[in-house]
Structure 1
Amino acid sequence: MTAEHTAEPVAPGSGQDAAIDNLAALESEAIHIFREVAGEFDRPVILFSGGKDSTVLLHLAIKAFWPAPVPFPLLHVDTGHNFDEVIEFRDRVVEKYGLRLVVAKVQDWIDDGRLTERPDGTRNPLQTTPLLDTIGEHGFDAVFGGGRRDEERARAKERIFSLRNAFGQWEPRRQRAELWNLYNGRHRPGEHVRVFPLSNWTEFDVWNYIAREKVELPSIYFAHQRDVYLRDGMWLTEGPWGGPRDGEDVHTRTVRYRTVGDGSCTGAVESTATTIEEVIAEVQASRLTERGATRADDRMSEAAMEDRKREGYF
C-alpha cells in the first residue's frame, strides 16, 4: 500500500536500529500467525473496518501470501454511523487488491427487529449480534482482529488464539497457554477462534510500522479542520447519529482521530500533526491509549469491554 504521508528513511546507527529490529520481529510473528491459521483452519476471515490497525493487519496478510492473493475474505460490521472518509478508503482498498468484502449492516438487524436502537444513539454495542450471526452464516472458523493488548485492560488478557464457544462467548478458563510460538487452534463444531496477530504491538509500534512500510490510511488520522462539540471531555462531530445536545456548542477545531469507529462515541483530539513523523511524536508523548482518550463506549462502566467480550464482541 502506498501512503500519501511518508517518513524519511532511518540511517544505520542512528539510535533507532533497535526499534527497526523490534518491528521486524513483530512483523515476522504476525506473518507466522497468518500462515499458521491458513494451514490449520478451513474458513478464516479478516475483520476490516478501514481503521489503522485493521489496515496494518491487511498489509501483513498481503505480505504473508504474496505473490498469491490473500486466501480469505474480509468482514466489516458496519454500524451505519461510520465516517465517510473511512468507508471510502475501505472500498478503495478492497477494489485495489481485488478482495472479497462481506458487510454485515447493523441497520439490517434493526429493520427486521433482531436489534433495537439504543436511546443514546450509539451503535458500537449493537455490533455483537451481527458479528456472531455472520460468522455462523458463513461458517467462519477463524476470525482475525486487529486488537492489541495495550489498548484496554480486558484486551490485555487475550491470547493470540482466543477460543470462543458455540455462542461466540469468551471464556477465560478455556484459554490455552501459548509457549514458544505454538498455537492451539482446536475447537469443537460450532466454536471458532479469534486471532490477534497484533497482540504484542503498541500504538507506537503500529505508527512506526506505517511509516516504515508507507501504509496508506484514511485522511482523518491526520490534522484537519472539523466542526465538533465537547461532550465528556471529548470532541465529537455531527452526523446521522445525532448531536449536539442542548448546551453543546459547535466549534471549528483543528483535530485528528487516533482511532475510528461509531461516530456517536468516537472522539477527535486537538492536533496539528499532518505527517506521520508528527503523529508518532504525539503518540510517544501521550499518557493515554487511543481508546482511553477517545472512545466513549469504553467509559460506560469499569468493565465495559470485558462485558462485551463475554457476549461475543472483540
Structure 2
Amino acid sequence: MTTVTGGCTFTLSQLETLEAESVHIFREVAGEFERPVILFSGGKDSIVMLHLAMKAFRPAPVPFPLLHVDTGHNFPEVIEYRDRTVARHDLRLHVAHVQDFIDDGRLRERPDGTRNPLQTVPLLDAIESNRFDAVFGGGRRDEEKARAKERVFSLRDAFGTWDPRRQRPELWSLYNGRHAPGEHVRVFPLSNWTELDVWQYIERESIELPGIYYAHRRDVFARNGMWLTAGDWGGPKDHETVQRRLIRYRTVGDMSCTGAVDSHAATIADVITEIAASRLTERGATRADDKMSEAAMEDRKREGYF
C-alpha cells in the first residue's frame, strides 16, 4: 500500500498493511461497542490477535477481557501458555467449561469423544450472561470455504446464529456495527491474513508460541489419516498403535480432533519454509471436526460457532 504524507511517498509492506488494518478494526470496535471480548485459546491466531490488540491501545492496557471455551481436552502446553500470558499482561479471563455443561445435563458427550462441536452452547451462554456485544475471533478467510464468505463484522441474531443473507457490505473498509438488543457482532481482525502472513508476522515481532507448534517428539496414533495425541478423551482404541514420532501442530484445538503433521521444522524460519511449500490449509490437513461432512463448518456457524 502506498501512502502520501506531507508530500512524501512511502510504501507499506504486506505485513505493515495487514497490521494497520487489524489495529484499525480493534479501535473501531472500541469506539462502537460497549462490551467487547477477545476469544483467546492460546493458539497462534488468538496469540497474534492479542498482540495486535496490545499494539492498538498501547501504552494503555487492552480494554477488553478474554474468553476461552475450554473443552477439557486441550493440550496442557496451550493451557499453561494461556494462563501465563494472562498473568504476565494482567488481563481478565473468562473461562466457559464444556465439562460444566456435560455435568449438569445441558450437553451430552459424543460417541467419538470429540468436544469441539460442543463448544457452541457454552460460547453462546457466556456471550449472553456477560452481555458481550462484540466478540473478536481469530478466523481467517484462507482457512476454510465457509470462513471465506465471512465479513470482518459478522452480525449474529439473538440466538447467536449466522445468516449469510443478513451480512452487510464492507466497501472501503467501512464497518457497520449496528445491532438490535440481544444480537451481537463477531469481529475478525485477521480475516485478510493467510497462514503464511501469520507466521511471518510472528517472526517479525518475535512472538512466543506454545512449543507444540514446533517439531518435537510425541506419542501419537493414526486415525482417519491423521496423527492424534493419546489421551483419556477416547484414544487410542485397542486396534490403534501408539508411536513416538517427530511431529508438530499447524493448528491447535481439542486433542480429539486436532491432528499433527510429521515435521522437522524446529524454528520459525523452518515453519515458514514448510508452509510456503504446502498445498493444504492447516484446517484442511489437520482438523477432523471439519471433515464430518462437506458443510460441517457452515452448519456449525449457523448454530452459533465461529
TM-score band by shorter chain is over 0.9
1:55 aligns with 2:47: yes
For residue 194 of structure 2, the aligned residue among 202, 220, 233 is 202
Structure-1 separation of matches of 2:231 and 2:184? 35
5+ residue gaps, structure 2: 1-10
Name the structure 1 match of 2:296. 304
SS of corresponding position for 1:64: helix
SS of corresponding position for 1:243: coil
Amino acid at match of 1:245: K
1:32 aligns with 2:11: no
What TM-score, normalized by structure 1, do the two folds share? 0.93
Structure-2 separation of matches of 1:248 and 1:118? 19
What TM-score, normalized by structure 2, do the two folds share? 0.96
Structure-1 separation of matches of 2:192 and 2:252? 20
1:81 aligns with 2:77: no
Structure-2 separation of matches of 1:247 and 1:239? 15
Amino acid at match of 1:175: Q
Q: Which runs of 4+ in 1 moved over 3 A?
A: none
Amino acid at match of 2:105: G
Name the structure 2 match of 1:114. 106
Q: CA deviation at 1:232?
A: 1.1
Structure-1 separation of matches of 2:228 and 2:124? 29
1:257 aligns with 2:249: yes
Amino acid at match of 1:122: T
Q: CA deviation at 1:248?
A: 1.1
CA contact (8 A) 2:222 2:228 kept: yes
Structure-1 separation of matches of 2:101 and 2:235? 23
For residue 168 of structure 2, the aligned residue among 169, 176, 181 is 176
Amino acid at match of 1:51: G
Structure-2 separation of matches of 1:243 and 1:81? 12
Count of residue pairs the alignment pairs up: 296
Name the structure 2 match of 1:45. 37
5+ residue gaps, structure 1: 1-17
The equivalences for 1:139-178 within 5 A come to: 139-178=131-170
SS of corresponding position for 2:168: coil
Structure-2 separation of matches of 1:114 and 1:164? 22
Name the structure 2 match of 1:271. 263
Q: Note the aligned Cα RMSD (angstroms).
A: 0.8
CA contact (8 A) 2:140 2:148 kept: yes
SS of corresponding position for 2:172: coil
SS of corresponding position for 2:145: coil
Structure-1 separation of matches of 2:165 and 2:74? 35
Amino acid at match of 2:217: Q
Q: What are the Cα deviations for residues 2-36 of structure 1, in whole angstroms up to 9, with x where unaligned?
A: xxxxxxxxxxxxxxxx9x70000000000000000
The equivalences for 1:289-300 within 5 A come to: 289-300=281-292
Q: CA deviation at 1:247?
A: 1.8
